[in-house]
Structure formats: C-alpha cells, structure tokens
Structure 1
Amino acid sequence: MIATSTQDYQITWEKLPDDYVLPNHPVDNINQPPLAAALTESLEITGRLPDNALTPTNYGICATLNGKIVIKAPDWAYVPSIRVAREEVKRSYTPQLQGDMPVVVMEFISDTDGTEYSIKPTYPPGKWFFYERILKVPNYFIFEPDSGSLEAYRFDNTGQYLLQAPDENHHHWIPEMNLYLGVWQGTRENRTGYWLRWWDEQGLLLWGSELAEQERQRAERLAAQLRAAGIEPEI
C-alpha cells in the first residue's frame, strides 16, 4: 500500500480485492469501442506502444479515498509503464502500486449528463475531480464524436486543469508521448465521421488498413514501371 494526501482525502493505492464486484456499466454507444481501438492500433503498428504500456478502454482505474474504493473508467487512457504482470491488471489498475500514473485520459461524450465535467469533491468524487485532484493526470481530453469538438486540458503548476488552444495545425502536443493529438474526418471500418488521431513530426500515424493500401499502391506503381520498361512483373 502507498499513501498520499490531497485536501480532505487520505489517498492510498491498494490492490483491488479479488472478490470486489466491479461496476457493470455497458458502453454508452456504438462509437466508443472503434474510437478507442483506432487510437491504440496506430500506436501499436508504428512501434509507439511499449510492451509494458497500458491503453485501457472503459476499464477501472482505482484509488482508495479515506478507506473507500473509488473506480473511474475513462473511455481511453495511456499508462506508459506497468510494473506487474498483465494478469494482475486484468480486472482493474491501481496507479503507483502497479505502475505509472496515466499520462492521458479521454472521455467521449455521448449524452448530456455532464459527468465528464463533474468536480464533485465528496465521495464518490466526480470524474474531473478524480482525474485532476486524485490522479493528477497531466492531459485530459473530452471529445464529442458527433460534432468533432475536442477539448484539451493540461494539468499546470497551480494544480488545476487549464484549457489548451490547439496549434496552427489544430493539434495538441502531448510531451509525455512525444506526439500530437488531433481530429480527423473520414471512414474506418464502416464508420464515417470524426476520429481522434496521432501525428508525429513526420506526419499522421497510419492505421493498418492505410498502410496496406499504401503498400498496394506502391506495388501497382512498381508493376506499371516494369511494364513500361517491357518487363512483365511476376504476380
């Protein structure tokens, strides 16, 4: 057990009991799983997802406040490194005890209840309060898939989240990941709309389907060049 404190809470980082019954909330809507999967896929296939990193989706991140367990399940999060076997974090994750604090949490807005903005400090605390005051996650993003609106908040030296303006490319720099996050519009897996995507200094991090299409086009260009030179390419 590891203990810290904030305001009126004594925070301890304890392993969730094996018999603890986790909340069984269904995913809010059909958009959330593909949005989350797309974020993880481009990191993985471009070699930007270390073996010990964690990219949980709608998965419990835990802390114990004044002896009471609090679990919040962001729609997507990035934990740079865990220090335990993956089997130990199959059901939930406790920062500090089991690995690093998340450096990014995201919520995809699907209704109007406003829980993503809840600063309720009393038990059980709201999501905003939990991410900002308990976990102190450096980057909090709130994305509205229908409109493509993305709000980026950065934890600053006052101990609070401040709304960040995007750069000239409409991207947000995440120093902990050495990547930019931005909104992209297009189609993937039969869903056409707005997506969250990663960029590095060289450009957009591609999905597997895009890399495959890129390779196909390269092969077609090469075949055309060979035919133009009088050589029939082997198929």
Structure 2
Amino acid sequence: MQNAPHLEDAASCSGFELTTEGLCRSILARHQDTICVRKSAIAVPRLKRILEAALDLSNRGGFQAMSLRDLSRASGLSTGGLYAYFDSKTTLLKMILLEVTDLVQRVLGRPPATLAADPVAHLRWLIDTHLHLTEALLPWFTFAFMEAKNFPPAERRIAVDSEALTERLFAEVIERGTKMGVFRSDTSPLLPAIIKPLLQEWYVKRAKYRRRGVAIETYSATVQGLVLSACLSDRPGQPSGSRQVQGS
C-alpha cells in the first residue's frame, strides 16, 4: 500500500528511505565492522534476501527455531555466504532490533516544525505516523514485538528501550499540551503507556482487521478519538481544530 504523505515527509526529513533496501543500506553503514562485503551494489541485495528470509521464517516459526540451514535455504545463500554478513544469530537479531529502534526515533522524533505550537495536531501526527510506519514495514515490527520475550538480555533491553522511547514521545507532547491548557490538568500520567498497546494492536492483530475490512485511516481516527477524549480540555483558546475529537 502507499505510505501516508506525512510519513514520506517525515522519512525524507530524517534522510531515510522507507523500504527494505533503505533499511539494508542503513544496516550496512552501521555494521561495517561485522559485514565483510563492502560493495553496496552486491551487499544490499543479498542483505535484503537474508533479512526478508529471516523475518519470514521467524514470523512463521520463531527466531529461536530458525537454523542457519533454514536461513541458507530460504535466502538462497550458502552458510559461508551468510557469515559474510553476520557472525551469529544474535548479531543478526541485534541488526534488526537496532534498525527498528533507530527508525522509530528518526521518523517520530522529527515532526514538522508547524506542530510545535499545536499539541493536538502533534498527538494526531504521532499516532497516524506510527501506524503508517508499522504498516509500511510490517514484518520488522511484528518480529520485534512477537520475539521480544525470547530475546537474550542485551537484545531485550534494546526492545524495552524502544518502547520507552515511543512512550516518552507521547508523554512530552501531552505534557506540553497540559502546560498550554489544551489538555486537562488531570490527564492520567498512564495515558502515554496506554497508547502504545493501541498502536501495537494494529500490526500484531493485522489479520483480524483485514478480515473485518478496517482501513488504517479508520483505525487511526478511532485511536485518535479515544486518546483525545481522555485528555482534551474543554477550555477555550485551544489551537485551531483541536476541539474536534472524531477523525483526523
């Protein structure tokens, strides 16, 4: 599906390409000490095959159950060819997790400058952009969520830190809106933590919403409405359009 225009804008501002190839180029640059292949024209297509195969195998049967032989067969590369890109399954796992965490920070952490004065619009943007980001790279986010309980301690910490980052982004916007009088002063401090599961529901239960014919725009508008109903102030003098709860 096509990405939302504001998601493309956010990715562009962060200097990032929201494709598997873009992720592979970023991984190649980040892990030069591990990846032996230096030529991007060769490394990126092969790394794409490895990662797509690893995500597919993991999302169907679990990362722990995936053997290097399975990955070799699914990617079409020899075991020796795999070792040119990572030295262990744990390294491969870390590559994926670091990329997902960095992606969230780079895209959601750089909102349009116009949102600074409008916390409601910023909150809507965070919800909608996060949903479209996970939709665009569904296998990556599904992997990070479903496999988290099986990660080694260091990799589990990466996943926990990523979730904390997302929660902090929402908390900062809500805090700013509360100080401006846009959000109620009695808004629950738990609200940022509650938003995250609503966003995860979309990609973890993607098949359920596909069966029900629920479009991402509908889901996004519903989450926005729920969140704003929990914090939006009735006081006058709010930013333009901020009193409208339904939709975006």
Q: Same fold (TM over 0.5)?
A: no
More helix by share: 2
More strand by share: 1
TM-score (norm 2): 0.29
Which entry has the higher C-alpha Rg, 1 or 2?
A: 1
Higher relative contact order (CA 8 A, sep 6+): 2
